[in-house]
Amino acid sequence: METSHLTTERLNKLLEMMDELNSESAVIALPYFAVVNPSEVGRLVYRVQAALLGAAHGDVASGAEAVRIWLCEENLRTCLSVDQISHLQELLLTALMVSSNESKLAVVKTAHAVLAKNLDPAKADRLTKATQLLLKRTQPDQVRFGTDGEAFFSLVRAEVLRMAKTLLDSGHVTSEELQAAVIESSSDPLPEIRFALAN
C-alpha cells in the first residue's frame, strides 16, 4: 500500500472492520499506518497487544508478525518511543510463556528475530530462562507420537534450538543447559531437530 493511502480515515475503517468481524488478523497492517499517523501509535500498540495475548491462534500469530514487522523494519521502528519498544519486547516475553501450543511457533520465531538476534543484555537472563523452559516443554516425552502434535512440537523445538544457539553466540549468555541442548540436537532422531542449526 502506498504511503498516500495510509490515511486516518482508512485506519479508522480498518479498526472498525476489525471490531465488527472480531478479527485481529488485520493487525499486521497497523505498523505501516503508525508511520503516517503518529498520534495513533498508542492505540495501535494496544491492538497489537490484544492480538498477541489473545486466545485465537490466528490473532496471536498476526500479533507476533506485527511486532516483528514493527521492531525489525527500521523505518517503522522509528515511530515508536523507547517505552513503546520496551513494551512490545515485554509482550513477546510474556507471550512466550502464555501462548497456546498452536500459537507457540509464531511467537518463538518472532522472539528469535526480535529479541535474540538483537539481544538487549538487560533482557538476556529472562530470555534465557524462557528458552530453557521451552526446551523442557518440547522434550520428546512431552509429545504423543504419531499425532499432528509430534510434527508441530518438533518444529517449535527446532526454532527454540535456533534461538538457544543465537543466545549462546551473542556473548551475553552462558548456560550449560542451552549448550547441552544445542550439542545434543545433532544426534536427535527427528530430522528437523537434527538440522535446526544447520540452516
Q: Tell me which of 192 and 66 has the higher pLDDT.
A: 66
Output the pLDDT for position 147: 57
The yes-or-no verdict on residue 56 having pLDDT over 60 is yes
Please tell me the predicted confidence (pLDDT) of residue 145. 61
C-alpha span between 104 and 95 (Å, rounded): 8
CB-based contacts of 86: which residues, under 8 Å, 6+ apart? none
CA distance 141 to 169: 28
Quote the CA–CA distance of 139 and 23 in Å, as a whole number: 33
Q: How far apart, in whole angstroms, are the C-alpha atoms of residue 112 and residue 106?
A: 10
Q: Band the pLDDT of 33: cuts 50, 70, 90.
A: confident
Q: What integer pLDDT is reported at residue 153 of this predicted model? A: 81
Would you state the pLDDT for residue 166?
95
Q: What is the pLDDT, as a whole number, of residue 23?
A: 58
Q: Find out whether 70 and 31 touch, Cβ atoms under 8 Å.
A: yes
Nearest Cα to Cα of residue 27 among 47, 46, 7, 9? 47
Cell of 99: 501462548
The pLDDT of residue 121 is above 60: yes
pLDDT of 164 reads 95
Share above pLDDT 70 across residues of the chain, in percent, rounded to a whole number: 90
> Residue 148's pLDDT is what?
54
Helix (H) or strand (E) segment spanning residue 48: helix 41-52
Following CA atoms 93, 94, 99, 104 in sequence, which dihedral angle do they give, to the nearest 10 degrees?
A: 0
Give me the pLDDT at residue 172, please: 93
The pLDDT-based confidence of 199 (bands split at 50, 70, 90) is low
What pLDDT is stored for residue 177 in this prediction?
A: 95
Confidence of residue 17 (pLDDT cuts 50, 70, 90): confident
pLDDT at 188: 83
Mean pLDDT over each residue of the chain, to the nearest integer: 87
Instruction: List, for residues 140-183, the tens digit of each pLDDT value.
Output: 766 666 655 666 788 899 999 999 999 999 999 999 999 999 99
pLDDT in tens, 64-115: 999 999 999 999 999 999 999 999 999 999 999 998 888 899 999 999 999 9
